[in-house]
Amino acid sequence: MDQFLQQLLNGLFQGSIYALIALGYTMVYGVLRFINFAHGDVFMLGAFTALGLHKLMGPTLALLPWPVSLLIVLLVSMTLCAALGIIIERLAYRPLRDRPRLNVLITAIGVSLFIEYSAQLLFGATQRPFPDLIPRTAIANAGGLTISVAQVIVLVTTLALLAGLRIVVMKTRMGLAMRALSLNPTASTLMGVNNSVVISFTFGLGSALAAAGGILYASLYPSIEPFMGIQPGLKAFVAAVLGGIGNIPGAALGGLIIGVTETLVKGYGQELGIPSGYSEGVAFVLLILILVFKPSGILGRVEREKV
């Protein structure tokens, strides 16, 4: 029983990191209706920025208590990545705003490959160790369950960002504009919304979320490389679709479902004759199932395409 609870916990934490990345994915999709393939790569850049920052001002950071230095690193790399996201949108996506969706998708793949291969050129293909921004200690639990500080931080951050994002989208003027743009870009312009500003904001926010995800992910699994964003990015996308793409709580739910399912396959599959290696495919099997049976996702609404 203890083991099962521990596995559920493992799954929950694994899922919360997927959820964290999925938030940004789903928000960009919700507003702009296209898959930002490069999201996983901004995630990777977030981790590398944090590493660079740590190299640059390591001694100074070491003097501060770890939560403060973590916060500094988080904020700085989130800002840098937000700026990068806005630049990417300006250069690559904005010229395509009236083009067919397929062109935008191809561009997104291009941007993704570009970031990956330039990172490989800059940082090399080999794994690099990531500093312990969060102390590597376990909070032992009475029932023999173990939880680490990093895991708790990831969960708390995910919940906080989930709440924060919900407030931004539902309660602020910018959020109102985002929702208007999402419903109908032409009508929102007519109502006085500056679409370009809203889109830039959405990209900036999405990239900042990705960067935060990258840093926390790297703190949990302290080795980073230029292609580290691909798998989590894909899984987060699946999580977003699972929960209903464009739906913020749905993304969190989808992330948790994937995390728990993967963990259970890894933990118990071997006894049932399913090698743990299959867990890699779990997310995609879930994706195909959901798209066959309920393409709008668990919490999503059915949308009909109008002519």
Partner 1 sequence: MKFSTRLLFASTALIAAFGVCGCKSSDDSTINIGEVASLSGGTATFGQSSHNGTQMAVDEINAAGGLLGKQIKLITEDDQSKQGEAGTVAKKLISRSKVSALLGEVSSGKSLEMAPIAQTAGIPMISPASTNPKVTEAGDYVFRICFIDPFQGTVMSKFAISKGWKKVAILTDTKQDYSVGLTQFFKKHFTENQGTITGEQSYGSGDKDFKAQLTAIKAGAPDAIFASGYYNEVALIAVQARELGITVPFLGGDGWDSPSLTEVGGKAMEGCFFSNHFSNEDASPVIQNFVKAYEVKHGAKPDAMAALGYDSAKILFDAMKRAGTTEGKALRDAIAATKDFPGITGSITLDEKRNANKPAVILTIKDGKVAYTETITP
Partner 2 sequence: MKRYTTQIVLLVVVLLSLGISVLSGKFDAYYMDIALNVGINIILAVSLNLVNGHTGQFSLGHAAFMAVGAYGASIFTLEMSARLMPLLGGPGSFATGVAFLLALLVGGLCAAVCGWLVGMPSLRLRGDYLAIVTLGFNEIVRVILQNTSGDGVFGGPLGLKGIPPLTTFFWVFAIAAICVYVVGSMVSSTYGRGFPAVRDDEIAAGSMGINTVRYKVTAFVVGSFFAGLSGGLYAHLRTTISPEGFNFLKSFDVVVIVILGGMGSTAGVIIAAIVLTVLNEFLRDFEQYRMLVFSILLIVMMIVRPQGLLPSFPILNRKKSA
Residues in touch with partner 1 (CB under 8 A) = 3, 6-7, 10-11, 13-14, 125-129, 136, 138, 140, 146, 148, 217, 220-223, 228, 231, 262-264, 266-268, 270, 275-277, 279-280
- Which of partner 2, partner 1, none lies near 44, with the C-beta cut-off 5 to 8 A by kind? none
In this complex, which beta carbon is closest to partner 1, that of residue 34 or of residue 221? Answer: 221
Q: Find the binder of partner 2 among 103, 127, 141, 223 (CB under 8 A).
A: 103
Rounded least distance, CB 43 to partner 1, Å: 13
Q: Which of residues 63-92 bind partner 2 (CB under 8 A)?
A: 92
Whole-number Å distance between alpha carbons of 127 and 226: 8
Q: Which is nearer to partner 1, 39 or 202 (CB)?
A: 39
* Binding flag, residue 98, partner 2 (CB under 8 A): yes
Contact 216, 148 (CB under 8 A): no
- Kindly write out the interface string for residues 46-65 of this chain, putting x where it contacts partner 2 by CB under 8 A and - elsewhere: --------------------
Q: How far is the CB of 90 from partner 1 (least distance, A)?
A: 32
Is residue 35 involved in binding partner 2 (CB under 8 A)? yes
Interatomic CA distance for residues 208 and 157, integer angstroms = 13
Q: 301: which DSSP letter?
A: P
Which value, in Å, is the radius of gyration of the alpha carbons in the chain? Answer: 19
DSSP string for 59-99: HHHHHS-HHHHHHHHHHHHHHHHHHHHHHHIIIIIGGGTTS
Could you give the CA distance from residue 260 to residue 254 in angstroms, rounded to a whole number?
A: 10
Member of 1, 173, 183, 305 binding partner 2 (CB under 8 A): 305
| C-beta separation of 42 from 210 below 8 A | yes
Residue 32 lies near partner 2 (rule: CB under 8 A): no
CB of 77 to partner 2, least distance (A): 23
The CB-of-231 to partner 2 minimum distance in angstroms stands at 9
141 binds, among partner 2, partner 1, none (CB under 5 to 8 A by kind): none
Residue 220, contacted partner among partner 2, partner 1, none, CB below 5-8 A by kind: partner 1
* Residue type for position 25: Y
Closest approach, Cβ 301 to partner 2, in A, equals 15
**Rounded alpha-carbon distances, angstroms, from residue 254 to 35, 156, 184, 203, 238:** 17, 17, 26, 22, 8
Question: By C-beta, is 165 or 235 nearer to partner 1?
Answer: 235
Three-state SS at 180: helix
- A 10 A CB-CB count for 180 gives 20
Name every residue whose Cβ is closer than 8 Å to that of residue 197 and which is 6 or more positions away in sequence: none
**Residue 300 φ/ψ region, left for φ over 0, alpha for ψ in the -120 to 50 degree band, beta for the rest:** beta
The footprint of partner 2 (CB under 8 A) covers 34-35, 92, 95-96, 98-107, 109-114, 116-118, 120-121, 234, 237-238, 241, 275, 277-278, 280-281, 283-285, 287-288, 291-292, 295, 305, 307
